[in-house]
Every structure is written in structure tokens, then in C-alpha cells.
Amino acid sequence: MASKRSYLLVGLVIAVLDFFVPFYVLKDVGSFFGSYFFWSALTLTVIVSGLLYVDRTWGSKG
Amino acid sequence: MNQLYVWISLFSWIGVATAIAYLAKRGLGEGVTEYFLGGRRLGGFISGMTYSATTYSAFMLVGLVGLTYESGVGALGFEMTYLTFTVFLLAIFAPRFWIASREYDFVTPAELLSKRYESRWVGVVAALIFLVMLTPYAAVQLMGIGFLVEGLTGGGIPYMAGVIIMAVFAGFSTLWAGMRSVSWTDAFQALTMLTTSLFALFYLFYHFFGSPIGFFTTISTENVDLLKLSWDPRLFIGLALPWAFFALTNPQVSQRMFIPDRVSSLKRMIIYFSIFGFIYTIISTLFGFQAANLLPGLTNPDKAMPMLLTKIPTALGLIIFIGIFAAATSTLGSVILTLSSAVSRDITKNVAPAISEKGELLSGKIFIPVLLGATVIFAWFQPGLIAVLSSMASGGLLVTAPALIGAFFWKKGTGVGTLSSMVVGGALTGIMYAAGYKPLGWWPSVWGLGITTVVFVAVSLVTTRPEKSEEFVESINSQVKDLESG
């Protein structure tokens, strides 16, 4: 099933970004524009994409 | 803070919440589905607010503030990781849970597992895991309030008084009208949580730092170490992994995917929850940075928020206190109701299949005060740091993740595979947590998920597949496809 693979892929990409960028790229950045901003921005991106996906794909039924 | 003010504000708020629960009771019908799921007739706003209030608890404004106070930005990462994966999982699983619950009349998540894998013992064991793991999690809510009232009144109101008042109120509002009273009061509680904390956050910005920009500048210069990521990656994964799957593995939230009245309400539930979660997480961590700057040197980080409340005017402190009380009570009420549905539907009904619906419901209701008593005793012993304890509960529940995912996506998953994965994974994870054993430095949750997945797959491959597994998976997925194609 294609959707099963795409779910897995999206989940993996999110997990990799969520962990590796703060721990290995932004670790020593002493500013709100370091890990704090990155995690907030990543979450917001997933929220907006998730909501757009839900809104566009879950049809108009009910 | 004068304890009389605390009593007055507490009982005023309880009065309003009770009136809301009373209004909710008026629409209550008969039967198990009506009591535990509000008849699957809840709108998008109430569903979104009860999902939010159930998820976000005293942990946020007590535990997460403390964790940020102590360890900085890693606390935000841990909580945002939860939210990111929850939105992702809800987009995939919410329509599946929702459709399956209607087609097969599921009342509890354990029942979904039991019927999908065609084994009543799967339901019994899953319900027992929920009970064992969520009792400490429920107790954590009581502990949060106990610490808070004690800290706020300088010991004037003892820890156990806070614990008992909250337990009595949560028990009463849960027993009264089940999901209807819980979800309606949750909506009131969620709004209380968000507005009160926003108000206090901005007060602290302007009063102590001049402005929000002043706050960010001050922290960036005076508390710069907290903005650098100091967490051990293995600690982060150990704490974040169970929370990443929270939306699936915690029955008090996954059961909420059953309750919206229509797809558009389910959609709105996810939208409201995501917005709420993002704002509330940012607020909670900013409180942690404020406390670190204003109150350095606290030995118990869980007391950071109660101490912060002593720095603000009494009226504002009381408002925040009520917000935290609301957060804790809503989570406690939802957990208790879900566990009571598990006792009723997954244990009583599976062990005594001939029982009437009235008897089934009664067994769940009787269990509510029993469980609350157990959580009060647990809170009395005050175990561990709140954040670690909450994560341990989710770590244990993680053993249900492979079976829940497999229920919708892997036709070869079997009842024996599910049972053995939950029993072996649950026992090993529990032992590792209890013994404080972290092989190779990795947390028990990481090992637990790995072991559970391997056992689930391996045993399923060598045992007989449930007769209707193909029908279940294909039926649900084709309905989701229909839904997605409009």
C-alpha cells in the first residue's frame, strides 16, 4: 500500500529532523533562535501541514 | 498567600464547574455508550477541548515548568516532539479509530484490540496494563495540586488537603454523568487553563522584564546556558519516545477519537487541539525561563511554579492556581472515566460475558471511588520527580503501540502475537523501570518498544491469523479512502 510507505517516510523525516538538528547542529547556540526556535517552527510546520492535509482530504462528508 | 483566598477561589470555581456538570447531566441517556462516550454525539469544539484538557495536565504548569527551570530548552523539545507526533498520528489514525468504533461498536481502545485480534484475553490484558500504568499517572495529577497548594500557602493548606479535595471533586464530576459531564467541564477547564496562564505570562513579562522583548533579551544574556541543549540524547529519546506515541497508547486520549458526532467534528477536534497544544507548550516553557531568572537556586524544580506564584499579586496568583487545578482535575477525571470503562467493558464483560448492560455499567461506576482511593494513597507516598513519573507511565503503555498500529495496517497480526508482546514487553519494561536498569544507557521505554515489536511480529508470523483480520483491515482502510476522496 503506497500510503503506508508514505506515512512511514514522513514520520521518519520528522523524527530525524526533530532529533538531529537540535542535538548535532544547534546544540551550543545560546539564543532563542537556536533549538527553541527550531523545535517550535518544526512543530508549527507539522501542525499546519497536518491540518491542511486533514482539511483537504477528509472530503465534505458529514 | 492567605489560605482563605485560596479556599474561596477554589470553591467558587468548583461551584461553576459543578453547575456545568449539572447541565451536562440533563442530556444524559441510558446505557454504556451513552455514559462512557457521551453517545458519540459530541461536537467539534467540546471534543477538541476535552482532548486538550485531558492531554495537558498539572504536568505542564508544574512538571514542565520545573523541567525547563532545571534543564532549559530540552524540555521544550521533549514536549514539542510529543505535539508533532500527535498531530501526525491523529491525521492517520483518528479517522480509522472513529470509523472502526462506529462499525464495530467499540467503547474502549482495549475492546478495539480484543475484537480486531479476536481474543477476549487481549482486551483483559490491555485493560490491566492501562490500570497499572495510569494509576501513577493519575496520582501525579493529585501530587501536582498537593505541591501547589502547599507552596502557595506556605504550608497553611497541607499537601494532603489539596490531594483529597481534588480527588473528591474529580470523582464526583466523573460519576455524575460520565463522558458528558467530563467533556463539558473539560471545555470550561481548557478555556480556564489557557486564558489564566496567558494573562499571568504577560503580567510577568511586563512587571519583571519591562516587555516580552525585554524578557527574551534578559534570558539570552543572563540565562544563556538554558538555551543551549544540555540534555543527554539518550535521556531525550527515553522521555520523548513514549510521548511521541501518547495519542495511540494512552486510552484516555485515544478513546476521545470515538466521541465526535461526525467527520467534520473530528476534524475540528484535531484543529482545536493542535492550536491549544502549541500555545500552551510555549506558555509553560516560558514560565520555566521566567522562574529560572527570577528564582534561581531552588532545590526542587517542581516548586518553581508555586514559588513563581508568590511573586505576583494575590488575585493573579489565584487565577493561575485555578488554571492549574483545572488542568489537573480534567486529566484526572478523564483518566478515571476511561479506566472505569476498561473495568466495565474489557474486564467485567470479558470475564462474565453474560452480564447485563446495567451490571456492566455498574461495575465501572463502583470502580471509580476505588481507583480514586488508590491514587490518593499513591500521592501520599510522593514518589519521584513528576516529569519522570509521567513519562514512566507512558513508557509502560508503549507496549500496546505495535498491536494498535498493526490493527489497522498489518493483516498478519494475531491475538497470540498481541498477547505475548504486551505481556513480555510489559513485564520487561516494568522490571527495568522498577530496578532503574538502563542497558547501554538507553531508557526502558526504548528497550520496551523494541522488544514488544519483535515479539509481536515474530509470534504473529508463526500463529494463526484471526479469521476476520483481512475483512477488518480492508473495510476500515477502504472507508478511510472513501472519506479522503470526498
Structure letter (DSSP) for residue B227: H
Lookup: cell for A24: 548535532
Q: B222-266: per-residue pLDDT in tens?
A: 999 999 999 999 989 988 888 899 999 999 999 999 999 999 999
- Inter-CA distances, B166 with B282, B323, B416, B432, Å: 26, 13, 41, 32
Amino acid at A56: R
Alpha-carbon span B70 to B64, nearest angstrom: 10
Task: Give the structural domain span for B47.
Answer: 3-391
Nearest to B295 by CA among B64, B1, B65, B61: B65
Residues of B in contact with A46 (CB under 8 A): 84, 87-88
β-bridge mates for residue A34, sequence order: none
Report how many domains make up chain A. 1
CB contact under 8 Å between B91 and A50, yes or no, is yes
Whether B29 maps to a domain, the answer reads yes
The verdict on residue A51 lying in a domain is yes
Q: Answer yes or no: is B468 within a domain.
A: no
What distance separates the 2 farthest-apart alpha carbons in chain B? 68
Which of B77, B228, B485 has the CB atom closest to A28's CB atom?
B228
The C-alpha atoms of residue B300 and residue B376 are separated, in whole angstroms, by 22
Q: Is residue A7 part of a domain?
A: yes
Q: Which of A43, A45, A60 to mutate to test the interface with B (most CBs of B within 10 A)?
A: A43
Residues B226 and B24 sit within 8 Å (Cβ to Cβ) = no
Q: Rounded to whole angstroms, how far apart are CA atoms B240 and B235?
A: 8
Shortest distance, CA B156 to any CA of chain A (angstroms): 38
| C-alpha span between A57 and A60 (Å, rounded) | 9
CB contacts of B237 in chain A (<8 Å) are 19
B312 SS3 class: coil
Q: At residue B466, what are phi and psi to the nearest 5 degrees?
A: -60, 145
What is residue B31's predicted lDDT score, i.e. its pLDDT?
86
Partners of B77 on chain A (C-beta within 8 Å) are 18, 22, 35, 39
Out of A7, A51, A57, closest to residue B271 by CB: A51
Q: Are B21 and B162 in contact (CB under 8 A)?
A: no
Q: B260 pairs with which residues across the strands?
A: B42
Cell of A22: 537540535
pLDDT of residue B390: 61
Chain A residues with CB-CB distance to B266 below 8 A? 58
pLDDT at B389: 60
As given in the structure block, the three cell numbers for residue B305 are: 511554579
Q: Is residue B26 a part of any domain in this protein?
A: yes
Q: Determine, yes or no, domain membership for A25.
A: yes
SS3 for B99-132 is HHHHHHCCCCHHHHHHHHCCCHHHHHHHHHHHHH
Burial track B156-172 (b if 16+ CB lie within 10 A, e otherwise): ebebebbbbbbbebbbb
Per-residue pLDDT at B80: 96
Give the one of B81, B271, B484 whose C-beta lies nearest to A59's C-beta. Answer: B484
> What are phi and psi for residue B42, nearest 5 degrees?
-90, 145
User: How far apart, in whole angstroms, are the C-alpha atoms of residue A18 and residue A21?
Assistant: 6
Shortest distance between the Cα of A24 and any Cα of chain B, in A, equals: 10
Query: How far is Cα B128 from Cα B122, in angstroms, rounded to an integer?
Result: 10
Is residue A4 very low, low, confident or very high in pLDDT (cuts 50, 70, 90)? Answer: low
Contacts of B330 by beta carbon, 8 Å cutoff, 6+ apart: B50, B53, B54, B57, B182, B185, B186, B189, B190
Q: Are the beta carbons of B224 and A30 closer than 8 angstroms? A: yes
**Nearest one of B138, B119, B102 to B252, comparing CA atoms:** B138
What range defines the domain where residue A15 resides? 2-57
CB-CB under 8 Å, A62 with B80 = no
Angle (nearest 5°) at CA B354 between B348 and B355: 50
Distance of CA B30 to the CA centre of its chain: 27
B304: CATH: 1.20.1730.10
pLDDT at B238: 84
Q: What is the pLDDT of residue B242?
A: 86
User: Does position A1 have pLDDT exceeding 60, yes or no?
Assistant: no
How many structural domains comprise chain B? 1
Q: Which residues of chain B have pLDDT under 70?
A: 383-392, 486
Residue type, B178: G
Q: Is A23 left (phi over 0), alpha (psi -120 to 50) or beta?
A: alpha
Does residue B287 sit within a domain?
yes
Q: Do the domain assignments include residue A62?
A: no
Find all residues with CB under 8 Å of B255, minimum gap 6, and list them.
B36, B37, B108, B109, B338, B341
- Disruptive mutation site among A36, A40, A42, A48 for chain B (greatest number of B CBs within 10 Å): A36
A40 chain-B contacts, CB cut-off 8 A: 76, 80, 278, 282
For residues B57 and B254, what is the distance between their CA atoms, to the nearest angstrom? 16
What pLDDT is recorded for position A60?
56
